[in-house]
Amino acid sequence: MIYNSTVARLTYRALLGRRRALMLLALPVLLLVIAVVIRALGGADDRAATEILGGFALASMVPLIGVIAGTGAIAPEIDDGSIVYLLSKPISRRTIITTKLLVAISVTIAFTTTPILLAGMILNDNSQQIGSAYTVAAGVASVAYSAVFLLLGTVSRNAVVFGLVYALVWEALFGSLVPGARTLSIQQWSLALAERVAADGADITSDVALPTALILLTAATVLGTWYAGRRLRVLKVAGDE
């Protein structure tokens, strides 16, 4: 079994509780506001669309939402010890991880793809398929980010901090300065897909070739999930002693 509906329900309620839901909503709302303002000031512009959807939405919004959903799906439960109630049941720990992964993926996709597609429409009426390209990229990136950040949630008590460092420092900053870092970046892998979807005239390029990107995306997702399951099997539910 890879899915348990009760585990999923508990995870959804934890992720979509009031405070987290507001955090998840903040960036998509910001994206739409920016899109409306740019369109109103400068009219439809493919370049602006690429810059905002690539430079803000895919580079910052998607990994940040991935961090919130991926780590939020498990880290708080490990932190406060309530994971005990899941672990002390006749359910395999792999099922717990795959269920939580599916929930994190669905939340990340929901809070990233729809706003990106909408923003693309607002910015340039999806001309040259720029909006669709970034929507597809955000979709696949959501899967990989969820797996990686869920793993981070089972490994470290400071999962959110490490997740933010990865999302902001590695993906956004380091990646733009050091060319090598870009090949090890979920953002670049998903861009390879965007490059394929968008029309040839659109200025979307990735440092990674599409086949390599697909292999790396799959590997990150599968290995991340596998290792998270392993971590959960040997998780020490430490007491206060």
Partner 1 sequence: MTTLHISAASRWFGNVVAVNDVTMDIAPGVTGLLGPNGAGKSTLIHMMSGFLAPSSGSVTLDDRPIWRNEKVYREIGLVPEREGMYDYLTGAEFVLANAELHGLKDPEGAARAALETVEMTGAADRRVSTYSKGMRQRVKMASALVHEPSVLLLDEPFNGMDPRQRMHLMELLRRMGDEGRTVLFSSHILEEVEQLATHIEVIVAGRHAASGDYRKIRRLMTDRPHRYLIRSSDDRTLAAALIADPSTTGVEFDAGEGALRVQAVDFMRFTTQLPLLARESGIRLLTVSPSDESLESVFSYLVSA
Interaction of residue 233 with partner 1, rule CB under 8 A: yes
Based on the shown chain and the rule CB under 8 A, indicate whether residue 91 belongs to the binding site for partner 1: yes
Encoded amino acid at 99, one letter: T
CA geometry: angle at 134 spanning 75 and 159, to 5°? 15
Could you say which DSSP state residue 73 is in? T
Site for partner 1 contains 7 (CB under 8 A): yes
Q: Work out the number of other CB atoms within 10 angstroms of the CB of residue 44.
A: 13
By beta-carbon proximity to partner 1, the closer residue of 92 and 218 is 92
| Residue 107 within binding range of partner 1, rule CB under 8 A | no
Can you say whether residue 81 is alpha, beta or left, with left for phi > 0 and alpha for psi between -120 and 50 degrees?
A: left
Q: Answer for the pair 157, 131: CB distance below 8 angstroms, yes or no.
A: no
Count of beta carbons in the 10 Å neighbourhood of residue 40:
9
Q: Which is nearer to partner 1, 7 or 65 (CB)?
A: 7
The sign one gets for the Cα dihedral 82, 84, 87, 90 is: negative
The interface with partner 1 within residues 38-77 (CB under 8 A) comprises: 77
Select from 49-57, 78-86, 103-111, 171-179 the region that touches partner 1 (CB under 8 A).
Answer: 78-86
Under rule CB under 8 A, residue 236 binds partner 1: yes
* For partner 1, the closer CB: 90 or 201: 90
Between 4 and 135, whose beta carbon lies closer to partner 1? 4
Sign for the pseudo-dihedral over CA of 198, 203, 204, 210:
positive
Q: Is 1 in the site for partner 1 (CB under 8 A)?
A: no
> Which one of 29, 44, 84, 223 is in contact with partner 1 (CB under 8 A)?
84
Stretch of 26-34, 41-49, 86-94, 139-147 contacting partner 1, by CB under 8 A: 86-94
Determine, following the binding rule CB under 8 A, whether residue 232 of this chain makes contact with partner 1.
no
Are 144 and 222 in contact by the 8 Å Cβ rule? The answer is no
User: What is the token pair recorded at 109?
Assistant: 């996709």
Interface segment toward partner 1; rule CB under 8 A; list 35-43, 123-131, 199-207, 230-238? 230-238
How many residues in the shown chain lie near partner 1 by CB under 8 A?
32
DSSP sequence for 112-141: HHHHHHHHHHHHHTTGGGHHHHHHHHHHHH
Stretch that binds partner 1, among 60-68, 91-99, 161-169, 222-230 (CB under 8 A): 91-99
By CB under 8 A, name the binding residues for partner 1.
4-7, 9-10, 13-14, 17, 77, 79-82, 84-93, 233-237, 239-241
